[in-house]
Amino acid sequence: MNPPALSPYPLRDQLPGVYAEDGFAGVFADGLDTMQAPVLSTLDCLDAYFRPGLAPVHFLDWIGGWVGAELDGLATESARREAVGTAMALHRRRGTEYGLVAAIRLAFGITPEITESGGASWSARPRGPFPGDPRPGLRVVVRVPDPAAFDGRRLETLVAAARPAHLPFTVEVLAERTDKR
């Protein structure tokens, strides 16, 4: 038989004097404490349920759904907690180079090489040349030890979601360079 859960507010201690001496009333109050203790414990720790670093593991996916965290393919608990914890910051940076690099680094643990077609410049004279390439585009290159074992489809899905909406993109998965220059 399991011992009754300890309640921070035992009902037995709060019974009026007439019932405090009654054995049945005490056992009944202990039974209510056993049922009530988990609820009180959850309510006392409710703020921890909404903090990605402290939330129970089974609660992470639910919180991740609230903040739009990308949890697909993240196997470890620490990676899932980090994804949920950084989701809001990544949403603020979505569509920027920084946001795309951060999303790929979080999902795969590697830093990509990103090339964009756009540019910005300043000219003292009107009708100066436009910077960048006139054809819009985004190129994402990742270098991994074994390109055949890498999940390129997942990378394409991630880039499609985190890229600037107006840019067509290409994704390349290449072998790591052997010459470290």
| CATH-assigned architecture of domain 96-181 | 2-Layer Sandwich (3.30)
Domain positions in the chain are 19-47, 52-93, 96-181
Report whether pLDDT(1) > 70: no
The Cα–Cα gap between 86 and 56 comes to 17
Report whether pLDDT(2) > 70: no
**Within a 13 Å sphere around the CA of 47, how many CA atoms are in the beta-carbon half?**
1
pTM, rounded to two decimals: 0.66
Residue-wise pLDDT for 61-106, tens only, equals: 899 888 888 777 777 888 889 889 988 888 888 888 999 999 999 8
Closest among 111, 109, 50 to 75, alpha carbons compared: 109
